Amino acid sequence: MLTIRRIFMKLVTQTDCTAKTFGPYEAVDILSRAGYDGIDWSFFELTGSDSIWLENDWRGNAQKIRRQADDAGVQIIQAHAPFPSSKGESSRGDEGYESFIFKRILRSMEAASILGVKFIVVHPKHHLVYRNNRKATWDMNIDFYRSLIPYCEKWNIHVCAENMWQYNKQGGFIVDSFLSEPEEFCDFLDALDSPWIVGCLDLGHSALVGVEPQDFIRAMGPDRIKALHVHDVDYHADCHTLPYMESLNWAEITRALGETGYSGTFTFEADNFLNKLPKELRKDGIEFMCKTGRYLVRQVEKWQQKD
């Protein structure tokens, strides 16, 4: 006889579009009022020169935002480091850029830890044409993620590797990149063999390289997938838009999450559609995104069963 196993899944969304539109501090209150349980902090602007995370008192800014979130009744649960993690034409990469971005990734990890984050997504290095450089890409990423482990231990934060894709400029289409196949993703995490390095499955990225997200979820299982990037795609472009606006099979995706016992958060990286709205309508769009998320979470919970 089947009994229901209740896992109360938290609904989370990234700050990217909201913070760009309204500012980082107001974004916290807007997302809280919209009804989200948690926030995924986007540190994308750390690739530039204008950011609250580059101010002299950036640690104080993090403490201020955490207090603000606490007062608003919302957790900052997940984060995303700046990217890309590498550039260049050789396996050594662009050494100047890689020194720069490594420091910025570490800044995002420390800031995230102050915010209370336990999982931060860090893109793998994948600047080489993947088809011709599979071993070199594997080796550089083993070294890269291992280099982050001491900082994970220092700041008590887990790093999530993410499945990626590349663009074939000659053909004008998307192709495989590092961790785009579930077998490689599983093997990579197993090879690292560290509790500090886990998996973030980007559902849209999976579909773009021809692996249905529900199949990727079942292949990796809940022991390896600890975070999600939830968004919809049309199988041709990395749309990062709201579920049901494009082509993914959300009935099968939510079923796979429920049946496999995924216990992490349901985290949207789906706010690109907000950029098409006038500023005056974006708060309404944020609330609609939250309602859509609540519906999807309920679908997952319907399938959370055990023997």
Tell me the per-residue pLDDT of 243-271, one tens digit each, with 9 for 90 and over. 999 999 999 999 999 999 999 999 999 99
What does the angle CA 79 – CA 80 – CA 85 come to, to the nearest 5 degrees?
A: 150
Tell me the per-residue pLDDT of 51-94, one tens digit each, with 9 for 90 and over. 999 999 999 999 999 999 999 999 999 999 999 999 998 888 89
* Collapsed DSSP state (helix, strand, coil) of residue 236: coil
Residue given tokens 């999600």 in the structure block = 228
Q: Which residues contact 130 (CB under 8 A, 6 or more apart)?
A: 137, 166, 175, 176, 177, 178, 180
Whole-angstrom distance, CA of residue 204 vs CA of residue 213 = 7
- Listed in sequence order, the DSSP H helices in 85-133 are 95-115
Give the global pTM.
0.96
Whole-angstrom distance, CA of residue 234 vs CA of residue 238 = 8
Whole-angstrom distance, CA of residue 177 vs CA of residue 174 = 9
Calculate the average pLDDT of the chain.
96
In angstroms, the Cα distances linking 59 to 41, 46, 64, 73, 120 are 15, 14, 9, 21, 17
| Predicted local confidence at residue 93, as pLDDT | 83
Statement: residue 4 has pLDDT above 80: no
Q: Structure tokens of 54?
A: 């580059």
| Predicted local confidence at residue 108, as pLDDT | 99
* Collapsed DSSP state (helix, strand, coil) of residue 285: helix
Statement: residue 135 has pLDDT above 90: yes
| Predicted local confidence at residue 226, as pLDDT | 98
Note down the domain range covering 177: 3-306
Whole-angstrom distance, CA of residue 10 vs CA of residue 293 = 10
Whole-angstrom distance, CA of residue 94 vs CA of residue 207 = 30
Per-residue pLDDT band for 306 (boundaries 50, 70, 90) equals low
Q: Structure tokens of 233?
A: 């795609």
| Predicted local confidence at residue 285, as pLDDT | 99
Sign of CA dihedral 28, 34, 39, 41: negative
Tell me the per-residue pLDDT of 21-43, one tens digit each, with 9 for 90 and over. 999 999 999 999 999 999 999 99
Single-letter amino acid code for the residue at 8:
F
Statement: residue 11 has pLDDT above 70: yes
Whole-angstrom distance, CA of residue 277 vs CA of residue 256 = 32
Per-residue pLDDT band for 2 (boundaries 50, 70, 90) equals very low
Whole-angstrom distance, CA of residue 159 vs CA of residue 152 = 7
| Predicted local confidence at residue 90, as pLDDT | 84
| Predicted local confidence at residue 1, as pLDDT | 34
In the chain, the number of structural domains is 1
Q: Structure tokens of 169?
A: 């400029």
**Average pLDDT in the 196-202 region?**
99
Task: Please write down the long-range contacts of 288-294, taking CB distance under 8 Å and 24 or more positions apart.
Answer: 288/242, 289/13, 289/34, 289/242, 290/11, 290/13, 290/34, 290/35, 290/36, 291/35, 292/242, 292/243, 292/244, 293/11, 293/13, 293/36, 293/230, 293/266, 293/268, 294/11, 294/35
Q: Do the Cβ atoms of 129 and 148 come closer than 8 Å?
A: no
CATH value at residue 225: 3.20.20.150
- Tally of CB atoms within 10 A around 230: 28
**Average pLDDT in the 220-226 region?**
97
| Predicted local confidence at residue 5, as pLDDT | 43
- Listed in sequence order, the DSSP H helices in 156-212 are 182-192, 203-208
| Predicted local confidence at residue 66, as pLDDT | 99
